[in-house]
Structure formats: structure tokens, C-alpha cells
Structure 1
Amino acid sequence: MPVVDQLSAVTREDALAFADEAFRNRDITFSHRDVVDMVGALGTFLSRHRLASVSSASAEPFLAQLRRVNLARYEAWVEGADAGIMFDALELGGEVGELLNVVKKLEREERGWRGSREAPKDFADECADVLICLDKLARRRNVDLTAVTISKFNATSEKVGLSHRLEASVGSGAPAEQEVSVSVAECVEPRPVGDSKIVQVEDCTGPQRGAEGVPRDHAGAHTKGAQTREAFLAQAVTNILPIGDSRAPGDRVIPIYVRMDELRALRELAAVSVGAAK
């Protein structure tokens, strides 16, 4: 279960930026629920500011990705023997013909006429083949299918007096905002607060438990002296370090596993800091 570098490399600057955003106009006194909320808020903050794109491919517009990968596959497929634009045109025509053949069979079935049958999946597959082949043909003349489709669609609407328009920003490929799932685990070997060493989930005992199930005792907590609000928040955030992530590239949910000893220590830090401020 690999460590996620982007999440584990929480810097002081990240911590202070997070503190400014998450704890603006809030009292420094943290309840247990506040601590759990802070873990989730940190994950949300990082997902927005540092993980806007899980990978370069996830932020790539679909048609741009299709053009890139389609070309790469074609070149590997023909091994340098480029068939030219006429072959691409004939291939597109053939796929359109296959799509129409499927439509014919579906229509015949709906009318209750005798003859061979096609499944709805066949219709979807042929539609996909047409799009793939259309992209291959359009590439021959450097046609941007996204731009030309938007332009043509809007021009037709204008021509016939309709208000419907396509926007260039729609479907631009920007990834959806990622969700954060918070879990905690008990570390086999307690480590000092702020220890930068990140461990794997396998180094923790027992199943990862939901945040609501975190024990409320102070057993094993580390203590610190009085700190300023800025120093406390920076220390608190850098203490919350994820220890593993099983998500596949492109997944929208970011699971953050938090060390149990760090949660205990964080609560103790909050109590000490508040006590010193009184």
C-alpha cells in the first residue's frame, strides 16, 4: 500500500495556510469532534490545493486524450505503414455502415419482424467505433473536434433562431472535487509527536476504524509546553500525517489514515495550549 507523496509531504507553509482557512474566527479550544473535523478539513484543503489533478491524464479533456492515445495506438498498430487519409475515410464509412446495420436489426426487432437480433450493447459499441474513427479522420487535417463542434452547433442555432448554445468551458476535463475519507489506526510502535517518518498501514494494529470510534482517553499522549496560536496550529497540522493510501489513480475519494498516537497527542496539545492561554 504505497504512501502518497503529495499528502505525506505536509510543509509548515501548508499547515499555516490550512490554519488560516480552516480556523479563521474559531476559538483555539478543540473538542474531540473538532480534532476529527480538523483531520477531514486538512484532507479537503490538500485535495483542493495540492491534488487538483490526481494525474495529468485525469485533467486532460476527453477528446484531447482520445486524439493523443488514438494516434499512439494507430502508430503502434500499423508499425510505420501509414495507410493515409483515404483508408481512414473508408474505415469511418465502414463503422457507420455497421452502426446502421445494428439500427436496422433493432428496429426490426421492435416491430416484431423476423430476423437476426442485436443487443443494445452492440449499438453502443458501434457508436464508440464511429467516434474513434471520426477522430482518426479529423486528425488528418488537424481538426479540433471540440472547437469545431461547438462552433458548428452554435452557428446552426443562430441560423434557425434558437437560443441553445454550447460553452467551451463545459467538458473541459477539469477533475471533479475529490472527497475525503478519514480513518484512524493504532501504531505498533509509538513515535514522538512531529516525527516525520511515515509508516504503512500494515505497521498498525487492528482494522482502521471510523473517526467516530476513536477512544477518548489520553493514554500515551505526548505533552508540549505553551505555544502561540500560530505555532500550535502549524504543529498540529504537521502532526496529522497520512500513513497509506490504497486508491487507484483517478479515484475521487482520498482515504486518509491518521496515526492514533498523533490524535491523542494533538488533543493533549490543545489542552496544554488552552490551559496556558487562561
Structure 2
Amino acid sequence: MRLDTLRAANIERQTLWPGVAAVDLPFRGLELAGEIGELCNLVKKLHRHRGAIAGNRAADPLVEDKLLAEIFEELGDALVSLDLLAMDLGLDLGPAAVEKFNRVSERVGIPVYIGVDRARGPDETVFHELGKGERVSHD
């Protein structure tokens, strides 16, 4: 899924969301914080399970699979909430992520960039957005 697809769906769904007129910027921030908090709690439980740290309730042999399924769901919730916050601020997550990713690569000296149009050095990797039906090539 592309971020612009998420944005279009969020815009459409928000027109139908009950009570959306009362949603403001503080609500969006708190909504995102709540989703990230839920995600972090699950990551903590997974860490506890993997490290055999006391605290999880049951010694369920499927606990890791269950936690990973819950983490998967919370990652989706967090991404949707992040896009809603960005939408309310009039910002686009795609360019924000690309700019930040490339600045960090440059700062840290890692030659991996997203969608930059400049000459590539022999050790530089540039990832571009794929069009519909295109697949990543590993030459």
C-alpha cells in the first residue's frame, strides 16, 4: 500500500466518521500517543517472553505468535493515526519520511537514499518508489 492510498482512504472515511466535528489537533496527538503506547506495551511483553523475564501471565506456547499478531495490528493502528495527525496538520508523510531518511543517511555516512536524483557513487544504493506491478530487482 502506498501512503497516498492511505491518505485518500482516511479523507473519505473521516467524512463518514461519527463525531468527527469534535476531533481537533490535541485529540489526534493523544490518539497517536495511545496507539504508540499500546504498541510499546506489546513489544515489552514480547521482549519479556523472549528473555524469559517474569511478568507475562501464562506460559502459552503460542504467546509469541499471538503477540506478533497483536503487534501487526497495532502497527497498522499507529500508521493510520500518524497519517490522520499529519492530514490535520496539512503535511504529507511520504516526503517527510524521505527527507528525514536521507538526512540521517548523509549524517551517519551510510550510502543508502530514497528517491534522490543525483549521481550515484559505486557504493551508493538508491531506492525509488515502484509503479503498479513493478517488483524489486536484486541484481
TM-score (norm 2): 0.74
Q: What is residue 83 of structure 2 aligned with on the other side?
A: 135
Q: What is residue 115 of structure 1 aligned with on the other side?
A: 56
Which one has the largest radius of gyration? 1
SS in 2 for 1:71: helix
Q: Which 4+ runs in 1 deviate beyond 4 A?
A: none
- Deviation track 1:62-115 (CA, whole Å, cap 9, x = no partner) reads 111100111221221135524111101000000000000101111111122342
Distance 1:111 1:105, change over 3 A: same
SS in 2 for 1:165: strand
Pairwise CA RMSD:
2.0
SS in 2 for 1:81: helix
CA distance in 2, matches of 1:140, 1:80: 12
* Superposition map of 1:180-191 within 5 A: none
TM-score (norm 1): 0.39
**Is the Cα–Cα contact under 8 Å of residues 14 and 20 in structure 2 kept in the other structure?**
no
- Identify which of structures 1 and 2 has the higher relative contact order when contacts are C-alpha pairs closer than 8 Å and 6+ apart: 1
SS in 2 for 1:78: coil
Q: What is residue 123 of structure 2 aligned with on the other side?
A: none
How many correspondences in the alignment?
116
Q: What is residue 175 of structure 1 aligned with on the other side?
A: 132
Please, which of 4, 8, 13 is the counterpart of residue 73 of structure 1?
Answer: 13
CA distance in 2, matches of 1:149, 1:119: 27
SS in 1 for 2:112: coil
**Aligned residues with identical type, % of pairs:** 34
CA distance in 2, matches of 1:114, 1:82: 39
* Superposition map of 1:140-219 within 5 A: 140-167=88-115, 170-172=128-130, 174-176=131-133
Please, which of 85, 108, 123 is the counterpart of residue 25 of structure 2?
Answer: 85
CA distance in 2, matches of 1:119, 1:134: 22
SS in 1 for 2:28: helix
| More helix by percentage | 2
Q: Which ranges of structure 2 fall in alignment gaps of 5 or more residues?
A: 58-62, 117-126, 135-139
Distance 1:165 1:66, change over 3 A: same
Distance 1:114 1:151, change over 3 A: closer
CA distance in 1, matches of 2:20, 2:109: 48
* Superposition map of 1:11-50 within 5 A: none
Q: Does 1:124 align with 2:72?
A: yes
SS in 2 for 1:129: helix
**Amino acid in the other structure paired with 1:90:** L
**Amino acid in the other structure paired with 1:115:** N
Distance 1:109 1:80, change over 3 A: closer
Q: Which ranges of structure 1 fall in alignment gaps of 5 or more residues?
A: 1-60, 178-278
